[in-house]
Structure 1
Amino acid sequence: MASIGTKTYDTVAPKKVAFLGLGVMGFPMAGHLARAGHAVTVYNRTAAKAQDWVKEFGGKAGATPREAAAGADIVFACVGNDDDLRSVVLGADGAFAGMAKGAVFVDHTTASADVARELYAQARKQELQFVDGPVSGGQAGAVNGVLTVMCGGEPAVFDAIKPVAQAFGRAVTLVGQPGAGQLAKMVNQICIAGLVQGLSEGVAFGQAAGLDMKLVLDVISKGAAQSWQMENRGGTMVDDKFDFGFAVDWMRKDLGLVLAEARHNGARVPVTALVDQFYADVQKMGGGRWDTSSLVKRLRD
Structure 2
Amino acid sequence: MCQYSAEDGFTSDYHLVHLGSRAMGGAGLIISEAASVSPEGRISPGDIGIWKDEHIAGLKRITDFIHQYGGVAGIQLAHAGRKASFKAPWLDPKQISIAEGGWQTVAPSAIPFNEEDTVPEALDAAGIAKVKADFRAATERSIAAGFKVIELHAAHGYLIHQFLSPLSNERTDEYGGSFENRVRLLLELVDVVQEVWPAENPLFVRISATDWAAGGWNAEESVKLAALLKAKGVDLIDASSGGLTKKQEIPIFPGYQVQFAEQIKKETGIMTGAVGLITDAQQAEEVLKDGQADLIFLAREFLRDPYFPLHAAEALEVKLKWPVQYERAKPRKHH
Q: TM-score range by the shorter chain?
A: 0.3 to 0.5
Q: TM-score by structure 2 length?
A: 0.30
Q: TM-score by structure 1 length?
A: 0.32
Q: Larger helix proportion, structure 1 or 2?
A: 1
